[in-house]
Chain A
Amino acid sequence: MFSNPLSLVIWTPIVAGLLVLATGGDQRATLARWLALAGALAGFLVSLPLFTQFNNLHGGMQFVENLPWIESLGIRYHLGVDGISMLFIVLNSFTTLMVVLAGWEVIQKRAGHYMAAFLIMSGLINGAFAALDAILFYVFFEGMLIPMYLIIGIWGGPRRVYASVKFFLYTLLGSLLMLVAFIYLYFQAGKTFEIEAFQALAKIPRDVQLLLFVAFFLSFAVKVPMWPVHTWLPDAHVEAPTGGSMVLAAITLKIGAYGFLRFALPIVPDAALEVAPLMVGLSLVAVVYIGLVALVQTDMKKLVAYSSISHMGFVTLGMFLFTGSQMNVWALEGALVQMVSHGFISAGMFFCIGVMYDRVHSRNIADYGGVANKMPIFAAFMMLFAMSNSGLPATSGFVGEFMVIMGAVQVNFWVAALAATTLIFGAAYTLWMYKRVIFGDVGNDHVEHMQDVNKREFLVLAILALAVLGMGLYPQLFVEKMHLSVNDLIAHVAQSKL
């Protein structure tokens, strides 16, 4: 079992996290930090073979591992990735490395526990992406709530308790109904929890499909989050420590979108087709309305949180654009690119805000001004992330949005027109914030005393910037991995189960 690369990417960070936990309290914080870095690095390294050895010409699942686990309940330890999930595992392992670096000396209170929580969560997230057994997926999907709850609650801001409980209960509400849906499907599919067996079910009546879709929707829409179940996200983001925000935005939101692709669309395609107009509507509300909400935020973190919701609106939009019963390939691939790209950009944006927060201890836009005078290197990096967040060509932010809009034009011009407003609103809220914070004269004494980034911060910023630029200039690297899986998915969804 430990020779399979997927088992390795799941268990390496978890074991490392337990080791870090075993170093004890604050007395051995330095040891805990280095151990965590080693663990995160190892986790990232073992995830790389997934990317390099992935066979682009092979449809279906790769690196498959299928072992009995809880046979009495019909649950198996079944892992495997396709071109879609593989990308997110690599992205997650990468983000974990960034998070450990980002929290290095910033976290003074129980640093070991902080690092351990992130490492364990990283393993659980990898598990959720790699699971091919519905209950195995569920165990990872829910298990990650525990570390995230503690991360927000222990190291978060002033309203952390409210935010953490809200985060936990919101996500639990959705996923519990999905659990019932899984168990129902278990009996329909002949006593198996294999996700592929669920997908292969030939006949599901319309009413049942709709109910199943509701269960999936509640679970995944909360996680994405889609309007109107998005309200936990700004709270959680604002109160979470920098690392927590980075993981939340870069990875956990993607699990929601991934869930739609892995469960809702292929298992109940007819229901998905039927409610697609509604989903498109909700996505457009997220894109346009949440974009406007972001415009009026005075708190930088909240602004980026709303911007995340708006960008995730693009992702769900791309997934539910149908022509007849055919999903739009442009839009779908655009959505996936957008997911990966948003992982880099949002991590970068939240890290930038974290860098400023560590110096001034405020997230209010009004407390800044003229940061560029004191932190020129930092200002340059943040410029790149801000531009990418607003969808500037040659950055990764552009590619995904452009592809989704292209797909939307093929389906419905007005949907495309509304979606395209994001290029205006996105630029408006991001760049306006950037202007107020970075440009102008030095605003106050706090800004006067700001030091430019140190080596550690520079390293994180540089790596993220490279990723954003690289993906903007050569998206093919990612797209070619997912291409076959996307086509399989589209072909599968096009077959009615009525």
Chain B
Amino acid sequence: MNWADLNLMPALPEMFLLGALLVILMLDLFISDAKRGITYGLSLVTLAVAAFLQVSTFETFSTITLSGLFVDDPMADIVKVAMYGVTATVLVYTRQYVKDRGLFKGEYYTLALFALLGMNLMVSAGNFISLYMGLELLSLSLCSLIALQRDSVKATEAAMKYFVLSALASGLLLYGMSMVYGATGTLDLPTVAKAVAGGSANTTLMVFGLVFIVAGLAFKLGAVPFHMWVPDVYQGSPTALTLMIGAAPKLAAFVFVIRILVQGLGAMVADWQGMLIIIAVLSMAIGNITAIAQTNIKRMLAYSTISHMGFLLLGLIAGTPEGYASALFYAVVYVLTTLVGFGILLGLSRAGFECETLDDLKGLNGRNSWYALLMLLALFSMAGIPPLAGFYAKFAVIQAIVNINLVWLAVVAVIMSLIGAFYYLRAVKVMYFDEVQDNSPITMPVDMKLILSVNGVALLVLGVVPERLVAMCVEAMQLSLHSL
């Protein structure tokens, strides 16, 4: 290794994150339960500083460092900044919830930061090994987080399922990667890309490897037919953890897919396009249709997530920079919307009571019309009704696939989103048209109330003026994909 070429600047935010994380980990040992707020505060400060470092080291070109293990490009920067923000928001939303359930511990925060570090690594990996390490760091942290509520049977079961199935998925992924290694003799993504494009790789072996990799990725995204774990884990985990699984990791998983399929195996687009079409259509169909039958709202949102992953894949299927940008936009909007939806559920839960069935939302408009309105915005955004942000997300991915003349796929997609509209409408109906059942007051910490309001209103504001965010996604994708 040539030490003079070792440029650690691009990885500065990650290094800071790791350092701060270790400090918090040690410090927390000396903090009494009553002062646990310090750990919480330090975690938020860490996130803020990391985000600041990320923004201040922003470059409009890609930098590859650590012998190709680490890539820093605009796409990674944008997604990482989003993930810091999302993680901070999750920590704020869940504080009261974890306090009420005795989970307000140092481990909760350090593990959340470890998960974030894993995601950062996934987002910035330039090599199959670093991709895999990031993924495992994320999965294992989340798994322990779910199991943190030790005496809850449901949570333990969810953690077990998550662990076993993510291990299986990792196995598939590794198997696929090893085949790619066999065919190309390298784990470095740009070199793999060159080998595939140059035709020096064994095609049969590559296609087999691709099948396993796509299966592994579909597992991680929670796309049909590898979706079985999603509803169970969403429902079984404490709502705070459901949000943690459902928010930032989706962004990371998206970039993970881009790194492997587009930057590594971009030359095999014709091969993975067909597979993704099947996965996307099945995800949209099964996700939306099964969601109709759910009465548990966490489970319903899990199926809704599956269908959203199908929509997100549409952008990748297009195989064009605009398509990837639309998928990135979709992921960002999806995460923003999910934060609002689960934020409301967290706010409605209190010590000894979990808000998780549709009936728990009954007459919410009569109890508190502001929270009902925020939830309404989130639901209509998920349904893709204008003028909410979710509409432009769906619009952009559909535009991308019509651009490559897959009009039939666009028609399938809109029909599926029509089916999806039904269960979102039902949730709105429960909040607005039904009578109040449980009239206990809703108490929400002021900071959470404020951020949740901003978060909810953002869905509408982004619906009226989405240009900035769309343009940012398009630019980030063009800059990142152009340079490879």
Known contacts A139-B391, A153-B433, A165-B429; A72/B471 CB under 8 A = yes
- Shortest beta-carbon distance, B14 to chain A, in Å? 30
- Is B42 located at the chain interface by the 8 A CB criterion? no
- Number of contacts between A and B (CB, 8 Å)? 89
Q: Which residues of B contact A154 (CB under 8 A)?
A: 365, 432-433
CB-based contact B425/A73 at 8 Å: no
Known contacts A73-B392, A143-B386; A113/B433 CB under 8 A = no
CB-based contact A139/B470 at 8 Å: no
- Prevailing SS type, chain B contact patch: helix
CB-based contact A146/B411 at 8 Å: no
Q: Kindly supply a per-residue 1/0 record for chain B positions 405-434, scoring 1 wherever the CB is within 8 Å of any chain A CB and 0 otherwise.
A: 001001100110110011001101100110
Chain B interfacial residues counted at CB < 8 A: 35
CB-based contact B433/A187 at 8 Å: no
- Is B369 located at the chain interface by the 8 A CB criterion? yes
- Could you tell me the distance between the alpha carbons of A454 and B122 in the complex, rounded to whole angstroms? 70
- Prevailing SS type, chain A contact patch: helix
**Residue of A70, A160, A173, A183 touching B467 (CB-CB under 8 A):** A70
- Is A54 located at the chain interface by the 8 A CB criterion? no
CB-based contact A153/B432 at 8 Å: yes
- Could you tell me the distance between the alpha carbons of A145 and B428 in the complex, rounded to whole angstroms? 13
Q: Which residues of A contact B365 (CB under 8 A)?
A: 154
CB-based contact A168/B421 at 8 Å: yes
**Residue of B398, B467, B471 touching A180 (CB-CB under 8 A):** B398
- Is A169 located at the chain interface by the 8 A CB criterion? yes
- Is A150 located at the chain interface by the 8 A CB criterion? yes
CB-based contact A180/B402 at 8 Å: yes
- Is B403 located at the chain interface by the 8 A CB criterion? yes
- Shortest beta-carbon distance, B84 to chain A, in Å? 24
Q: Which residues in window 104-119 of A have CB below 8 A to B?
A: 113
Q: Which residues in window 154-198 of A have CB below 8 A to B?
A: 154, 160-161, 164-165, 168-169, 172-173, 176-177, 179-180, 183-184, 186-187
- Shortest beta-carbon distance, A19 to chain B, in Å? 15
Q: Which residues in window 53-72 of B have CB below 8 A to A?
A: none
Q: Kindly supply a per-residue 1/0 record for chain B positions 453-484, scoring 1 wherever the CB is within 8 Å of any chain A CB and 0 otherwise.
A: 00000000000001100110010000000000
Q: Which residues in window 350-386 of B have CB below 8 A to A?
A: 365, 369, 380, 385-386
- Could you tell me the distance between the alpha carbons of A28 and B325 in the complex, rounded to whole angstroms? 46
- Is A89 located at the chain interface by the 8 A CB criterion? no
- Is A51 located at the chain interface by the 8 A CB criterion? no
- Is B387 located at the chain interface by the 8 A CB criterion? yes
Which of B369, B415, B422, B429 is packed against the most chain A CB atoms within 10 Å?
B429
Chain A residue at minimum C-beta to C-beta distance from B400: A183
Chain B residue at minimum C-beta to C-beta distance from A155: B433
- Shortest beta-carbon distance, B75 to chain A, in Å? 16
- Could you tell me the distance between the alpha carbons of A161 and B387 in the complex, rounded to whole angstroms? 23
- Is A478 located at the chain interface by the 8 A CB criterion? no
Known contacts A25-B369, A176-B418; A69/B402 CB under 8 A = no
CB-based contact B387/A143 at 8 Å: yes
Chain A residue at minimum C-beta to C-beta distance from B398: A183
CB-based contact B418/A146 at 8 Å: no
CB-based contact B386/A139 at 8 Å: yes
- Could you tell me the distance between the alpha carbons of A180 and B410 in the complex, rounded to whole angstroms? 7
Chain A residue at minimum C-beta to C-beta distance from B417: A176
- Shortest beta-carbon distance, B456 to chain A, in Å? 14
- Is A149 located at the chain interface by the 8 A CB criterion? yes
CB-based contact A176/B415 at 8 Å: yes
Chain B residue at minimum C-beta to C-beta distance from A180: B410
CB-based contact A70/B386 at 8 Å: no
CB-based contact B398/A71 at 8 Å: no
- Is B175 located at the chain interface by the 8 A CB criterion? no
Known contacts A71-B471, A73-B470; A160/B421 CB under 8 A = no
- Could you tell me the distance between the alpha carbons of A186 and B391 in the complex, rounded to whole angstroms? 17
- Could you tell me the distance between the alpha carbons of A33 and B267 in the complex, rounded to whole angstroms? 63
Q: Which residues of A contact B466 (CB under 8 A)?
A: 70
Which of B386, B387, B425, B471 is packed against the most chain A CB atoms within 10 Å?
B386
Which of B385, B407, B474 is packed against the most chain A CB atoms within 10 Å?
B385
Chain B residue at minimum C-beta to C-beta distance from A141: B386
Chain A residue at minimum C-beta to C-beta distance from B373: A21
CB-based contact A165/B422 at 8 Å: yes
- Is B237 located at the chain interface by the 8 A CB criterion? no
- Could you tell me the distance between the alpha carbons of A142 and B386 in the complex, rounded to whole angstroms? 6
- Is B396 located at the chain interface by the 8 A CB criterion? yes
Which of B399, B403, B470 is packed against the most chain A CB atoms within 10 Å?
B399
- Could you tell me the distance between the alpha carbons of A433 and B319 in the complex, rounded to whole angstroms? 62
Chain B residue at minimum C-beta to C-beta distance from A160: B433
- Could you tell me the distance between the alpha carbons of A153 and B431 in the complex, rounded to whole angstroms? 11
Known contacts A70-B470, A73-B392, A73-B399; A169/B410 CB under 8 A = no
**Residue of A140, A143, A165, A184 touching B407 (CB-CB under 8 A):** A184
Q: Which residues of A contact B387 (CB under 8 A)?
A: 139, 143
Chain A residue at minimum C-beta to C-beta distance from B401: A183
Q: Kindly supply a per-residue 1/0 record for chain A positions 457-473, scoring 1 wherever the CB is within 8 Å of any chain B CB and 0 otherwise.
A: 00000000000000000
CB-based contact A165/B425 at 8 Å: yes
State the B residues within 8 Å of A (CB): 325, 365, 369, 380, 385-387, 391-392, 395-396, 398-399, 402-403, 407, 410-411, 414-415, 417-418, 421-422, 425-426, 428-429, 432-433, 466-467, 470-471, 474
The 4 closest A-B pairs by CB, nearest first: A176-B414, A139-B386, A72-B470, A153-B433
Q: Given A160-B433, A164-B429, A179-B414, 17 other A-B contacts at CB below 8 A?
A: A68-B467, A70-B392, A71-B471, A72-B470, A135-B395, A139-B387, A139-B391, A146-B385, A149-B425, A154-B433, A161-B429, A168-B421, A169-B421, A172-B385, A176-B418, A180-B407, A184-B402
State the A residues within 8 Å of B (CB): 25, 68-73, 113, 135, 138-140, 142-143, 145-146, 149-150, 153-154, 160-161, 164-165, 168-169, 172-173, 176-177, 179-180, 183-184, 186-187
23 contacts between A and B (CB under 8 A): A68-B467, A69-B467, A72-B467, A72-B474, A73-B392, A138-B386, A146-B385, A149-B428, A150-B432, A154-B433, A161-B429, A169-B418, A172-B418, A173-B418, A176-B415, A176-B418, A177-B411, A179-B395, A179-B414, A180-B407, A180-B411, A183-B410, A186-B402
